[in-house]
Chains A and B, each alone.
Chain A
Amino acid sequence: METMMAYVIGVLFAASIYMMLRRSLVKLVIGLIILSNAANLLIFVVSGLTRGAPPLIPDGANEVVGAMADPLPQALILTAIVIAFSVLAFAVVLIRRAYEVVGTDDLDKMKDTDT
């Protein structure tokens, strides 16, 4: 399972970078979305996947018995998803506004501020 996830994450990273290298603004944002999802998946999977073993303390016991899934990556991915979501919401609004102001979807035509 972990091996498969590793490939999935790798493909996602590759796809996101390919999309970000295109000239279109929309594709840039799609690339960013895939990129943040790839990073999220990475932090989720990195400490190993444990199936069907929630880190819950059974009735009457003081600590978890047996195998358990690491709860921390789940807390991390939750935070990361929220952050990525808000940042991407901003990015989407930004490209819409940029399209309105500049009037083009082509990044090559947006080089006034470059030097």
Chain B
Amino acid sequence: MNPELVLPILIPLTAGALSLAFWRSVRLQRMLAVIATGLLLGSGVWLMRSTIEQGFLVAEMGSWPAPFSIVLVSDMLGAIMIVLTGIIGLAIAIYSLASTPRGHEKFGYYPLMHLLLAGVAGAFLTGDIFNLFVWFEVMLLASFALLTLGGERAQMEGAIKYVTLNLFSSAIFLSAVGLLYGMVGTLNMADIAQKLNSVEDPGMVTVVSLMFMMSFGIKAAAFPLFFWLPASYHTPQVAVSALFAGLLTKVGVYALYRVFTLIFTQDVAYTHTILLWAAALTMLTGVLGAAAQFEFRRILSFHIVSQIGYMLLGLALFTPLALIGGVFYIMHHIIVKTNLFLVSGITYRLLGSYELKDLGGVYRQRPYLALLFLIPALSLAGIPPLSGFFAKFIVVRASLEASEYAITAIALLVGLLTLYSMIKIWAEVFWKKVPEHVADVSRLNGEVKDKHNWAYYVPVVGLAMCTLIIGLYGQPIYVLAETAASQLMNPQLYIEAVLGGQSK
């Protein structure tokens, strides 16, 4: 039994329970939030190290042998995602110290954050398809409550779309799990993968795989099921937006990666072609939607959609290089996107608006903040030597090698349009003068009085450093992505690790 495999789930769950116990003391909850997410990051790094050393980590709950018990499995992809969960959790916890309104903190912001992280970590580590559903629901319920904290009109409207679509996708997921169980009589993902080859009716398997694709596609905001995301992600307070933007949609992407490399590899020509076109259209619609927007967080929300397209592209091409690119893209994007939302929160703090027409002049007053925006923004657009360049480069190169020239052209065009909307933000928010109708200009000149001001900048600087490190010292991280991709390409390794019957 490896303790590091259970800790990423246990730490946030315990922290969530403790935060509930200290309901009255906001100060204790704040301390607990930073400590627990720090521990989560630590356990993630530990898990990563053991995973590098041992290949696969498997823990069988209750010491029942594998197909009968619920298993936790960590392969390289899972370990990478857990480390990222830790990084984002810590950044959001620190940022929340300054940015969360008092009212939200009193109404359970921190316990919900911990439970969300527990759900995310559980989804990344579980090796049981029904448990994946359960962790999804843990995560979703926490996210529903976080999204509606505050209870403003826009939040209510956004939440209704978000909740409805996600419940719908959960119902599809549950039905698909049921049909899958009816076919193979097991819920262990490795066991399903093994037994699915001997099912009499391969057409039925494809139908179920498409149900999974649709359900996870809704959660990951892929075309044509993405419309709930730009309608809801810009409504809650900014730390919550950043957490959702970084982690939540990526859980859907992770589930797609897991299911479509491990379980449904029977009819690759059919399923992955659908994925390929979904990826292309996701990229295009996302970036065109962003180009039409003039609100800081809405632009960023639409960009989540377009970037999801790149990750799906990596999965859809289904070559080793493409999967490396996809994994690399996920790593880079989680960090960059969270960071951009956090920067938007700082400009909101300075000027009191997210509308581009009400913003301006930040470069004059806060040149370093402008630089901090520029690093993730250019990285998102794929400018070398930042992390996004390598991610895009690998994906594009993989699509060229697979002779998918139309998709390559779309990917490059989308990169260009991403640059356009990042420049739009840059010009409107940082470059142009402060608009005259903004009454609050004095706030920019006078120092904003806030004793927690450092808490805004520490996570932003930290995440920008991560972006730079991935960009400048990309080799070790590329090796990690390469290992993850080679494990994904050989599902036999996963099956043997889980069902091999090694006693721990």
Nearest-CB distance from B97 to chain A (Å)? 27
The count of chain B contact residues (Cβ–Cβ below 8 Å) is: 44
Interface stretch (choices B8-16, B230-238, B258-266, B311-319) = B230-238
Interface residues of A in 56-115 (CB under 8 A from B): 72-73, 76, 79-80, 83, 86-87, 90-91, 94-95, 97-98, 101-102, 107, 110-115
Nearest-CB distance from B313 to chain A (Å)? 24
Instruction: Verify A32–B178 contact, CB threshold 8 A.
Output: no
Nearest-CB distance from A34 to chain B (Å)? 10
Nearest-CB distance from A74 to chain B (Å)? 12
Contacts of B172 in A (CB 8 A): 39
Considering the complex, give the chain A residue whose CB is closest to the CB of B158.
Answer: A113
| Among A38, A73, A80, residue most surrounded by chain B Cβ atoms (within 10 Å) | A80
Instruction: Verify A90–B141 contact, CB threshold 8 A.
Output: yes
Please classify the interface of chain B as helix (H, G, I), strand (E, B), loop, or mixed, using the class held by over half of its residues.
helix
Tell yes or no: B156 within 8 A of A by CB.
yes
Contacts of B151 in A (CB 8 A): 97, 101
Q: How far is the CA of A14 from the CA of B213 in the complex (A)?
A: 21
Instruction: Verify A79–B154 contact, CB threshold 8 A.
Output: no
Tell yes or no: B438 within 8 A of A by CB.
no
Nearest-CB distance from B156 to chain A (Å)? 4
Contacts of B420 in A (CB 8 A): none
Contacts of A20 in B (CB 8 A): 164, 168
Interface stretch (choices B179-187, B276-284, B382-390, B475-483) = B179-187
Considering the complex, give the chain A residue whose CB is closest to the CB of B130.
Answer: A76
Contacts of B163 in A (CB 8 A): 90-91, 94
Q: How far is the CA of A112 from the CA of B293 in the complex (A)?
A: 14
Contacts of A101 in B (CB 8 A): 151-153, 156
Contact of B164 among A32, A36, A73, A102 (CB under 8 A): A32
User: Quick one: CB contact mask for A26-39 with B, threshold 8 Å, 1 for yes?
Assistant: 00100010011011
Instruction: Verify A112–B178 contact, CB threshold 8 A.
Output: no
Instruction: Verify B175–A87 contact, CB threshold 8 A.
Output: no
Contacts of B179 in A (CB 8 A): 42, 46
Contact of A110 among B130, B144, B160, B293 (CB under 8 A): B160
Tell yes or no: A43 within 8 A of B by CB.
yes
Interface residues of B in 202-260 (CB under 8 A from A): 227, 230-232, 234-235
Instruction: Verify A112–B168 contact, CB threshold 8 A.
Output: no
Tell yes or no: A47 within 8 A of B by CB.
yes
User: Quick one: CB contact mask for B283-299 with A, threshold 8 Å, 1 for yes?
Assistant: 00000010011000010
26 contacts between A and B (CB under 8 A): A28-B164, A32-B167, A32-B168, A35-B167, A39-B171, A39-B174, A40-B174, A42-B175, A43-B174, A46-B179, A46-B182, A47-B181, A73-B181, A76-B181, A87-B137, A87-B141, A90-B163, A94-B148, A97-B156, A98-B160, A101-B153, A101-B156, A102-B153, A112-B153, A113-B232, A115-B230
